[in-house]
Amino acid sequence: MQHHYLYEYRTHLHLAELGIDAAALNEHLQQLWDNRPRTPSFWRAPDDDSSTAQRFLRFHGEDGTVSARNYVGQIYFEDHMLHLLPKVFYPGEDLPDATPEDDPRLQAMHAHLFWWLSYAHKLRFPRSLATFSALPTNLLEVLILLFAQYTHELLSRTHYQHYQEVSENLGTLRGHLNFGTYATYYATGQGHRLPCTFDSFQPDNRFNRILKYVTYQLLNHTKQTHTQQLLQEIHFQLDEVADQPATLTDCDQVQLSPLFDDFRVVLDYCRLFLADSGPLAAHTEEVRVFAILLPTEVIFEEFIEGFVRTHLDNQFHVRAQARDCYLATATPTGAKTQRYFQLRHDLLLERKSEQKTKGKPLVIDSKYKILPVNAAGTIIPGSVAQADMYQLVSYALRRGTPHTHLFYPDSLRHSAHDAPANRLDYLVKDKLSGADASISVSAHRLPVTSVDAFDTTSGISEAIFAQESTLADRLRAVLSLSS
C-alpha cells in the first residue's frame, strides 16, 4: 500500500504521477458525500448541507492535483491511503510518502487528536489512557481505540439487556399459551408441556448482536496490541450473544431506552464503522475503498467546550450551542410579529458567584482558523475576519454583555506560548448605551499544539500533559479578566 499525506489547504498531490484516476476518486468521494448522515452528529460538519458537491477533497483540473479541505482522517482508495492531516501541524514541508508508521511526527499529531477528541462531549470518551506515547499513527486506529476503551469501561459497569419475544415449552404457564401447539401436545399425551410465548429480558438482542459483530470485525482491522486485548475482552463478555452479520440498517432499527443512554455512544461508533464509507462496509476484493473523515472545526469546537467545562466548572455555568435568542423581530403586513436570525453561541458562560446579582454572561466563539502573526510573533491586527467581528458584536448587543471572545488555535510553526502577544483586544464604541460605553471583542490564539511533543528527545505524554496545564492556566487568566 502507498501512503500519501495532505495537510488541510496546504499541500497538493499529483494524482496522475501516483497512478490514481482522478475521475474515479472524485466519483467515490461523491458517493460518500451523498450517503453521509443527514442528521446532525459529531461526524458531520454543521454547514454540510450547503453544498451538493463533495467537500472532502478539492480537485485542481488545471494541474491535475488534489488538496485537502477541512476534514482530517483517511481515504483508502484501491492501493493508496490518503492521510488528511490538520493544518495546524503543517511544518512548512511535505511529509514524504515513505514515512514509516512509527514516525514520531505522526505519533505526535495523533496524540494531539486523541487529546482533543478526549474532551468531545458527544463522544463521552473515558480519559483512562495513562499515556499518549503508545498511540497509533493513523486515525482509524485511534477511533478503534476510542471505541474499545469506552465500550470496555461501559461493559465493566453494566450490560445491555432488552425484552425479546421467546417461545419455549414450560412446566408452568408464562405469557400466553399457544393453543394450536398445545392441542397437538394434549392429543399425543404430552399435556404437561405448555408451549408459551413471553417477553424475556435477554442479553441476546439486536444491539448486542451488532456490537459483537463490529467488535469481531475490528479485531481484523487493528494492529495495536492494547486495542486487540480490549476488543477480545468485549467479545468474550458477549459470549451468550448469537453471531450474526450486521449492517447500518440494523443500527437504525435499534431503539434504546433512556435507562441505557450511555450505550448510544457505542451505537454511534457502530454506525461510523458500518456506514457506506466505513471500514466494515461490504466491498469486493477488487474495489477496496473506505474513508474515515472528521470535520476539524467540529473537533476544535468540541475540544474547547469540553476543556472549559472540565477545568472551569467551579467558576462558570457553561451552555454550549445556546440558541434561545434571536437577533431581530419583524412584523409583516397583516401578520404577527416574528423572530428572525437565530443566534447560536459556541459557549455562553455565566459566573456562578454572580447568579444572584444577574452578572453579565461571557460569549465565546471558537474558530478553527490560522491567525497570521508578524515577525515579533504577535497577532496581525487586520487578520481577524470582518464577518467574525460582526458576529461577535451582534452577540454582545443582543445578550447585553460587554465582553466577547474569539478563540483560535495556534500552530506548530507559531506557538502561542507568550500570552500577551497572542491576545488582541478590539473596542467597539456603543453610542446607544452612552458616550463612554463600549463592547470588547478579544481574539486569542490558544496554546493547543505542543512543540515539545514533536521533539523526539522528549516524551509525547509529558509534553501533552504539560500543554494541558498551560492551556488551563491561559483560559483561567483570559476569562478572569472579563467582568
CB 297 within 8 A of CB 45: yes
C-alpha cell at 84: 488528511
pLDDT value, residue 445: 95
Per-chain mean pLDDT for the chain: 82
Q: Which domain holds residue 320?
A: 312-449
67 pLDDT exceeds 90? yes
Residue 422 — pLDDT band, cuts 50, 70, 90?
A: very high
What is the average pLDDT across 250-262?
A: 81
Angstrom distance (rounded) from CA 76 to CA 1: 9
283 pLDDT exceeds 50? no
Q: Which of 109-123, 127-141, 173-187, 325-339 has the highest mean pLDDT?
A: 173-187
Which residues 6+ apart lie within 8 Å of 116 measured at CB?
A: 299, 300, 302, 303, 448
Structural domains of the chain, count? 2
- Please tell me which residue, 257 or 219, carries the higher pLDDT value: 219
Residue 468 — pLDDT band, cuts 50, 70, 90?
A: very high
404 pLDDT exceeds 80? yes
pLDDT value, residue 357: 43
175 pLDDT exceeds 90? no
Q: Which of 147, 174, 202 marks a domain boundary?
A: 202
10 Å CB burial of residue 98 (0-12, 13-18, 19+) is exposed
Which residues 6+ apart lie within 8 Å of 22 measured at CB?
A: 15, 16, 59, 64, 66
- Residue 361 belongs to a domain: yes
DSSP string for residues in 323-369: EEEEEEEE--TTS--EEEEEEEEEEEEEEGGGTTTTPPPEEEEE---
What pTM did the predictor assign? 0.78
Q: Which of 13-17, 269-273, 320-324, 426-430 has the highest mean pLDDT?
A: 13-17
Residue 58 — pLDDT band, cuts 50, 70, 90?
A: very high
pLDDT value, residue 277: 58
- Please tell me which residue, 322 or 439, carries the higher pLDDT value: 439
Angle between helices 104-117 and 460-480 (to 10 degrees): 40
CA dihedral 445, 127, 108, 300 (to 10 degrees): -30
CB 404 within 8 A of CB 362: yes
297 vs 87, 245, 306, 440, CA distance in Å? 11, 34, 14, 24
Angstrom distance (rounded) from CA 114 to CA 125: 10
Q: Are residues 318 and 443 in the same domain?
A: yes
Residue type, 465: F
423 pLDDT exceeds 90? yes
- Residue 392 belongs to a domain: yes
Q: Which of 148, 177, 202 marks a domain boundary?
A: 202
- Residue 261 belongs to a domain: no
38 pLDDT exceeds 70? no
- Residue 328 belongs to a domain: yes
DSSP string for residues in 284-298: -SSS-EEEEEEEHHH
C-alpha cell at 457: 528527545
Q: Are residues 198 and 318 in the same domain?
A: no
Which residues 6+ apart lie within 8 Å of 131 measured at CB?
A: 461
- Please tell me which residue, 277 or 465, carries the higher pLDDT value: 465
pLDDT value, residue 433: 72
- Residue 465 belongs to a domain: no
What is the average pLDDT across 158-180?
A: 79
DSSP code of 243? P
- Residue 40 belongs to a domain: no
Which residues 6+ apart lie within 8 Å of 401 measured at CB?
A: 360, 361, 362, 363, 395
Other CB atoms closer than 10 Å to residue 381's CB: what's the count?
10
- Residue 47 belongs to a domain: no
Angstrom distance (rounded) from CA 297 to CA 8: 12
C-alpha cell at 184: 397437538
C-alpha cell at 357: 446579582
What is the average pLDDT across 450-479?
A: 87
pLDDT value, residue 197: 87
- Residue 389 belongs to a domain: yes
